[in-house]
Amino acid sequence: MPGHGRPEGARTRLIRVDPERIDEGALGEAAEAIRRGGLVAFPTETVYGLGADATNPRALAGIFEAKGRPRDNPLIVHVPGEEWLPGVASEVPPAARRLIDRFWPGPLTLVLRAARLPAEVTAGLPTVAVRCPAHPVALRLIELSGVPIAAPSANASGRPSPTSAEHVIEDLWGLVDVIVDSGETLYGLESTIIDVTRDPPVLLRPGAVPVEDLEGALGSRVVVGDAARGLADSEVALSPGMKYRHYAPRKPLVLVESDDYSGEGYLEGVASVARSLAADGRRVIVMASDEHVGFYRAAGLEALALGPRSNPFAVARRLFAALRSLDGSPADAAVVEGFEERGLGLAIMNRLRKASGRAVVRVRGPRSRLYRAPAPRPRAAAGHDAPRGRDARGHRRARAPGRRARALRGDGGGGCRGMGRVRPVAMTIAGSDSGGGAGIAADLKTFAAAGVHGTLAITSVTAQNTVAVTGIYDLPPEAVRRQILAVHEDMGIDAAKTGMLSSAPIVRAVAEVASQLGLTLVVDPVMVSKSGAALLREDAVEALARELVPRAKVVTPNAPEAERLTGIRVRDLAGARAAAEHIVEQLGAEAAVVKGGHLGGPESVDVLYHAGRHVELRSPRIESRTTHGTGCSFSAAIAAGLARGMGIEDSVDFAKRLVTDAIRYGLELGAGHGPVNPSSWVDVPAERFRALQDVRLALRVLVENEFFVSRVVPESSMNVAAALPAPYASGPGDVAAIAGGIGRFGRRLVARGEVEFGAAEQLAAALLGVSERFPEVRGAAIVASGEEVSRAMESLGFRALPSGGRGAALGRRDLGIAVSEALRGESAPPDAVVDGGGPGLEPLTIVFGRSAVEAASKVAAIGKAIAGAGTPSTDRGRGASGSEGHPSGAPGLFPRTSNV
Ligand code: TXA
Ligand code: MG
């Protein structure tokens, strides 16, 4: 079979091996090829390697030939365990011991004094690079071969390392004997190489193990030179491989570096480099972090997402595939964003600097400076230091126009509604609601959620709650007038809305000031409260129709109010259309929306009549009792839209969406119609962000304690999750977790994917099962079950409940039910629920906390208790995790009751 070196299409065999269930027969054939002196490309957890018998000079020569690799570049020897070291290295210093204990098997290569090995392996150096990979297929292949395997990455020399068998096929088909395909590699970056023959040890190549972790394990510094950062070629003797161009796509690639990768100046700098590269008609693509692709696309550039900046692991994993994809894409050149040189960022930057052939542009602050670029010099951003009074984008820094000027103009500042101001100003002219659900209260919440500054003129004070209105106390019309004037004179009013106006004199006072000041007005003709009380006296209805409606930009009646105003029957869509048209054409408003909330049917349809045409706005009808304040919120949101300079249709559409959410997430308070929740418009995105952050932090807690936590990783993978708070959590889509969970490689933990909502259905169901009963519980982690875990929890004083049992027939999805059943009769949340599993179901423990971080801290405490380290029970309240101020897994986190 071998005859290596002669490219023959028929030579290569592709073998698929599932790492979870290794087919020994198939892998045995690959091992046989190694033993006979052949070449085998095989997966490791970093990248695919091209392996040959490290003791066979002829086989080794084949590697250099197949890859086109310079012969002075030595190879890494792969062993299945440290027991094999004596045959490879002549000496293992204490620092190497420590690193082996901590990181093997795993993506760490040690440079040691060499034993007697063929010169092809060491390139004649006195040292040898050795690594013990963590990939089960790699380990088994070496064992079956019975010899150490020397293997560089399985790419044609100079190209990006292969992270899938497809990449190997691209580069080496026909040049090697066997390609073992086990899917994509985990890290996507090569191993970290450290030279431990020197003191202090020297980092030769940053890789999948961050140098900070090495220093942590060694308890001392590691030397990181310019070569390791990819800034300079290393001396030949140090690490021969580092002097060649590496990882390079075939097309020009420019790297844009900066001290601040999130500043606007940086984004603009990258865009300007891309544009200058494109100047001579080249098609240019920007390779950017997920957070930034939107910016480049909005700037009219093509962009490729590399993964989130917040998750360098994900970026590293995709990096080589992205570099390769450039060659197959229609782009002629690429610009790639840089990353902070911390953690995996150091390795990412090393690869990017090399891949670009060190074609680097550096962007500082708002201006860009070049120190070496193959491309034409990009135009420096105009105005290096933003002139005073301008923000980073060069926009005028907003300041309200002078009060005197505005008072003289007497136009309410409405000329350019809200634009160019720190915050547009909106006003509500309405009654108060002591229950905080409707009126002024609803309006101010809506203004805040809609991003405008809310001001108010109270017309009436009402005593009311979700059930009834028990008192109405009108203010004198003069009091209403003065409130409006006071605000107008000082800060201007970009748009106002009226709600409950109560009496004809108040209606008249408001109409008068409104026309005097030229207010942009939304009129919500409030007549009856949700609880049925009349809020507008009879005589006021006519004043409203005759004096205020004609001055309104938008009028927003519900069906009964539209009937009262127009005399038209509004029982269906046709009636609503006719009434809306009547309010505009006959009563003189600029636009009218007749709200369909009262009309029934599966949808809630609002009809807008404006500029001679009807527009229907539809939303699914939400069955809800929490509708107190709906109409107020709706008209306030329209006023906010207008204040921000939006057109009528856009403002109404925005209001419809905001109110639909406000009802969906209404607050079940009081015995009647609970208040709507306009804050949900900003709460939901904010809480989603917080949940993602919580899980990311929790992951850090777990990883920082991985030495202990690795003891409790279940076979089916660990995960940690955070749920949105009530009333925003209703299903697994409202729970953030790590996609694919957290895997274990030896003592190392690795997140398999990104932090996402809906990523862990089982765990989400369990968490929601608890947080429904105990809303303070917002975080959970899933770990292994067993004697050790139970004993550890007991020693920590954790309260663990047995689950209701999942049972084989129920399947895994029902962990939620199992957990809910465990809570029956409980009056305080448990620290954990232990599920015994069943036929085909692994026993699992779900640990709960008020946040994902707290749950993770408890997991760390459990791991430590098992290891007998840190004795968390004696560290009570002081931080048992022992690392950078993370909350500890100290027990007693939930108040406990005695009736357990
Ligand atoms: O993740 C990895 O390390 C992958 C997988 C296949 O194990 N292997 C890999 O090998 O990346 P390769 O050949 O692409 O890179 C090995 C690097 C080269 O830069 C080489 O110069 C350096 O290790 N190296 C090998 N022996 C050395 C030695 N004795 N002293 C210094 N550097 C050495
Ligand atoms: Mg390589």
Full-model pTM: 0.53
Name the band, by pLDDT with cuts 50, 70 and 90, for residue 718: very high
Name the band, by pLDDT with cuts 50, 70 and 90, for residue 245: low
Length of the chain: 900
Give the lowest-confidence range in 314-328, 461-475, 648-662, 877-891.
Answer: 877-891
Ligand 2 midpoint to CA 211 (Å): 19
Kindly tell me if the per-residue pLDDT of 50 is higher than 90.
yes
Residue ID of nearest Cα to ligand 1 atom 27: 129
Kindly tell me if the per-residue pLDDT of 480 is higher than 50.
yes
3-state secondary structure of 92: coil
Name the band, by pLDDT with cuts 50, 70 and 90, for residue 841: confident
Residue ID of nearest Cα to ligand 1 atom 29: 128
Ligand 1 midpoint to CA 76 (Å): 5
Which tokens sit at 80?
Answer: 């299945």
* Identified catalytic residue from 428, 630, 660, 845: 630
Which tokens sit at 569?
Answer: 């029957």
Q: Given its phi and psi angles, is residue 835 left (phi above 0), alpha (psi -120 to 50 degrees) or beta? A: beta
The partner residues of 605 in beta bridges, in order of sequence, read: 618
Ligand 1 midpoint to CA 75 (Å): 5
Name the band, by pLDDT with cuts 50, 70 and 90, for residue 420: low
CA distances from 198 to 92, 96, 109, 204, 615 (A): 12, 11, 15, 11, 77
Name the band, by pLDDT with cuts 50, 70 and 90, for residue 403: very low
Which of 658, 619, 650 is CA-nearest to residue 449? 658
Kindly tell me if the per-residue pLDDT of 879 is higher than 90.
no
Kindly tell me if the per-residue pLDDT of 885 is higher than 80.
no
Kindly tell me if the per-residue pLDDT of 808 is higher than 80.
no
- Give the pairing type, strands 178-181 and 40-42: parallel
Neighbours of 437 (CB within 10 A): 30
pLDDT single digits (tens) 845-864: 999 999 999 999 999 999 99
Q: Of residues 709 and 887, which shows the higher confidence score? A: 709
> What span, in angstroms and rounded, lies between the C-alpha atoms of 392 and 783?
47
Neighbours of 659 (CB within 10 A): 30
- The stretch 532-542 carries a mean pLDDT of 80
DSSP per residue over 426-488, as a string?
A: EEEEE---TTSSSHHHHHHHHHHHTT-EEEEEE-EEEEE-SS-EEEEEEPPHHHHHHHHHHHH
- The stretch 211-235 carries a mean pLDDT of 87
Kindly tell me if the per-residue pLDDT of 625 is higher than 90.
no
Query: What is the pLDDT of the chain when averaged over all its residues?
Result: 86
> What span, in angstroms and rounded, lies between the C-alpha atoms of 332 and 347?
26
Ligand 1 midpoint to CA 130 (Å): 9
Kindly tell me if the per-residue pLDDT of 149 is higher than 80.
yes
Kindly tell me if the per-residue pLDDT of 333 is higher than 90.
yes
Ligand 2 midpoint to CA 71 (Å): 13
Kindly tell me if the per-residue pLDDT of 400 is higher than 80.
no
Residue 109 annotated as catalytic: no
Tell me what pLDDT residue 809 has.
Answer: 43
- The stretch 783-795 carries a mean pLDDT of 94
Residue ID of nearest Cα to ligand 1 atom 31: 239
Ligand 2 midpoint to CA 115 (Å): 23
Q: Of residues 229 and 721, which shows the higher confidence score? A: 721
The DSSP symbol for 546 reads I
Residue ID of nearest Cα to ligand 1 atom 7: 49
Kindly tell me if the per-residue pLDDT of 580 is higher than 70.
yes
What residue ranges line ligand 1, CB within 6 angstroms? 44, 46-47, 49, 73-76, 107, 109, 111, 122, 125, 127-129, 131, 151-153, 190-191, 193, 204-205, 239-242
Tell me what pLDDT residue 390 has.
Answer: 36
Residue 498 annotated as catalytic: no
Q: Of residues 571 and 878, which shows the higher confidence score? A: 571
Which tokens sit at 768?
Answer: 């929601």
- The stretch 21-45 carries a mean pLDDT of 96
> What span, in angstroms and rounded, lies between the C-alpha atoms of 107 and 44?
9
Name the band, by pLDDT with cuts 50, 70 and 90, for residue 419: low
* 190 alpha carbon, closest ligand: 1
Pocket test for ligand 1, best of 190, 238, 242, 350 (most atoms within 8 A of CB): 190
CA distances from 217 to 100, 222, 314 (A): 10, 11, 24
For the CA of 48, the nearest atom of ligand 1: 6
DSSP per residue over 306-371, as a string?
A: ---TT-HHHHHHHHHHHHHHHHHSS-SEEEEE---SSTTHHHHHHHHHHHTTT-EEEEETTEEEEE
Q: Of residues 147 and 762, which shows the higher confidence score? A: 147
Residue ID of nearest Cα to ligand 1 atom 33: 239
Q: Given its phi and psi angles, is residue 668 left (phi above 0), alpha (psi -120 to 50 degrees) or beta? A: beta
Structural contact between residues 67 and 176, judged by C-beta atoms closer than 8 angstroms = no
Which of 347, 351, 346, 312 is CA-nearest to residue 336? 351
pLDDT single digits (tens) 154-203: 999 989 999 999 999 999 999 999 999 999 999 999 999 999 999 999 99
Tell me what pLDDT residue 207 has.
Answer: 97
Residue 629 annotated as catalytic: yes
Kindly tell me if the per-residue pLDDT of 532 is higher than 60.
yes
Tell me what pLDDT residue 456 has.
Answer: 98
- The stretch 528-549 carries a mean pLDDT of 83
Name the band, by pLDDT with cuts 50, 70 and 90, for residue 895: very low
Residue 595 annotated as catalytic: yes
pLDDT single digits (tens) 120-139: 999 999 999 999 999 999 99
* 49 alpha carbon, closest ligand: 1
Give helix then strand counts, H and E, for the chain: 28, 37
Q: Of residues 395 and 485, which shows the higher confidence score? A: 485
> What span, in angstroms and rounded, lies between the C-alpha atoms of 133 and 97?
16
DSSP per residue over 667-715, as a string?
A: ---SSSSPBP-TTHHHHHHHHHHHHHHHHHHHHHHHHHTHHHHGGG--T
CA distances from 470 to 118, 467, 527, 625, 667 (A): 96, 10, 16, 21, 22
Which tokens sit at 633?
Answer: 């919120």
> Averaging pLDDT over each range in 361-375, 438-452, 515-529, which range is the top one?
438-452
For the CA of 193, the nearest atom of ligand 1: 23
